[in-house]
Chain A
Amino acid sequence: MGDAATTARLAGAALQAKAARPGLLAARTVGAGALVVLEAVGIVIALDHFGDLAGWEAGDVAFLIGLGEAGVGFAMFFGDTLEPPAFSLLVREGRLDPLLARPFPVLLSVVTNDVQVREVGRGVVGVGVVVWGAWQAGVGWTPDRVAVTALALVCCTAIVFAVLLLGAASTLYTVEGSEFVNAFTYGGAALSANPLDVYSSALRFVFVWVVPFGLAVYVPALHVLDRDGAPGVPASLLAITPVATAAFGLAAGLAWRRGLRHYASTGS
């Protein structure tokens, strides 16, 4: 309880700092949202020529794009500080060390160090694209479908955050951050933007069972849009979605703790 209150106060302070420059904040929020809109516009334009993507129409694909981008947006709100360049700077400038001495979980200190309000623009517009895609696809919103969509948003956000945490954990060893983590955060949204049907079975396996974006985005979408899945990825995998997300999150959490122990033991 004490931790929650402290977290809220720290995040509030970070928010206040952002509010000090409203023009900048507005421009960055609009820019982040515009990227998501344009991504959806791009696929609509392309599918105007091609008709469908592996049997998926523009609305269906927009639904996938929206889920992936919303997940990235909500995860980045807190997780931006864990991004390789930012976190690497935190370590190299020695700003991590005082956080270790606080009587407060280190991860909460790190993520409340800075919050990215603009990423909410990406998240909210992502949800808007989800709703638009479902409308195009003629989805009737039942409580069931709303619940599955909410589950997808939560799981996708959690997986993006876990990827960021894994990246930060590796930065605790290498100090220099690697841009390659981006391939799995923004890349996670990019790969979820396509129905898994377009990938080879090897890539499908990786995107479902190794970095489970497929379980968090594609499988719930099958339920909401009432579609059959690609070979090896049936809609019935939905029961696994929360389990796999939790397992992936747990693995990232353990890696982070190991990383912190390693970092502390360097005596830096």
Chain B
Amino acid sequence: MLGLHRALFAAGFQRQATYRLALVSGLATNVFFGVIRTALFDALYDGRADVGGLGRSEALTYVWVVQSLFGIVWAVWIWELPDAVRSGAFEAELTRPGDVLGRLLTFDLGRMANLALVRATVPLLGAALVLHLTVPTTVGGWALVVVSVALAAVVGFCVRFLIGIAAFWTPDFRGVYSLAFPLVWFLSGFLIPVEYFPGGLRALAEWGPLSAMLTAPVRVVTGRGVGGALLLQVGWAAALLLICRAALAAGERRWVTTGG
């Protein structure tokens, strides 16, 4: 069983390694947006020390961690699962050995690990060299960052899976994505740090499942409430995996392949 998952992880890693031009242009895009957003936050913090618990250095760290991670947790291959469901190709998944969800997750984690290795580290380390960022100074601190990014990847997989799985019920699954994306984008803290949100909205964004995608990793990197952030991620990852399992079971019952 472990051998199967190791092979799947490696296969996912390999698969993603083939997209070299996409990697380079994705990196350049992240850096471009990082530069623009650095200018924005730098100007905002002009003459101000602390807003919502974030100082200038934490805010700039937020900018680069988010730029580095978003392409991983919100992976570009989001359409592969729903397209496979609609075309019927997903049937092959159901006949393969092992647990379907576990296999999909492991393969996806392999792909995300490949992205994380280059696409996440290069911009973040580059920015840390040029700007004054708040990052861990110990090996243990960075180890926790790796754990947090892995948990964010699991949650990212679950969120994409739950959106994609709408394809079992409707051919208009892209509409589900269009409506879900703005919420994910905003509540995950991609646009502005959730620490700036007012009262109730802040609580929702800080404790809700989407916090595990970006907000929690930012906290682990900047060393603010690391233990709580990791616990939250573990909790949501477990809960979302259970929800994914239930949704997949419901989808399979609903599903009839044409000519299957």
Contact = CB atoms under 8 A, between A and B. Distances in A.
Interface stretch (A8-16, A24-32, A101-109, A134-142): A24-32
B44 A53 contact: yes
Most buried by B among A28, A38, A53, A179: A179
B36 to A, nearest CB: 5
A45 B40 contact: no
Interface in A171-185: 176, 178-180, 182-183
Contacts of A23: 172, 175
Interface in B129-185: 172, 174-179, 181-182, 185
Nearest to B176: A27
A120 B196 CA distance: 30
19 contacts: A24-B175, A27-B172, A28-B178, A31-B182, A38-B185, A38-B186, A38-B191, A42-B191, A45-B196, A45-B198, A46-B44, A53-B40, A53-B43, A178-B21, A178-B25, A180-B32, A187-B29, A198-B42, A200-B39
B66 to A, nearest CB: 13
The 3 closest A-B pairs by CB, nearest first: A27-B175, A31-B178, A198-B43
Contact of A39 (B46, B51, B179, B191): B191
State the main secondary structure of chain A at its contact with B: helix
Given A45-B198, A183-B28, A183-B33, A27 B39 contact: no
Interface of B: 21-22, 25-26, 28-29, 32-33, 35-36, 39-40, 42-46, 48, 51-52, 172, 174-179, 181-182, 185-186, 191-192, 196-198
A57 interface: no
Contacts of A21: 172
A235 interface: no
Contacts of B191: 38-39, 42
Contact of A180 (B28, B40, B181, B197): B28
Interface residues of A, number: 39
Nearest to B30: A183
Interface string A234-267: 0000000000000000000000000000000000
Contacts, number: 97
A131 B104 CA distance: 47
A100 to B, nearest CB: 25
A263 to B, nearest CB: 19
Contacts of A32: 178
Contact of B182 (A35, A53, A197): A35
A194 B36 contact: yes
A199 interface: yes
Given A54-B43, A182-B29, A46 B186 contact: no
A167 to B, nearest CB: 11
B174 A24 contact: yes
A42 B178 CA distance: 19
Contacts of B181: 31, 35
B176 A179 contact: no
B172 A176 contact: no
A191 B39 CA distance: 10
Contacts of B39: 194, 198-200, 203
A179 B185 CA distance: 19
Nearest to A21: B172
A45 B178 contact: no
A39 B192 CA distance: 9
Contacts of A24: 172, 174-175
A187 B39 CA distance: 14
Contacts of A39: 191
B196 A46 contact: yes
A54 B172 CA distance: 44
Given A27-B176, A45-B192, A50 B51 contact: yes
Nearest to B76: A179
Given A34-B182, A197-B43, A203-B39, A179 B25 contact: yes
A37 to B, nearest CB: 8
Contacts of B197: 45
B29 A180 contact: yes
A27 B35 contact: no
A205 to B, nearest CB: 14
A18 to B, nearest CB: 12
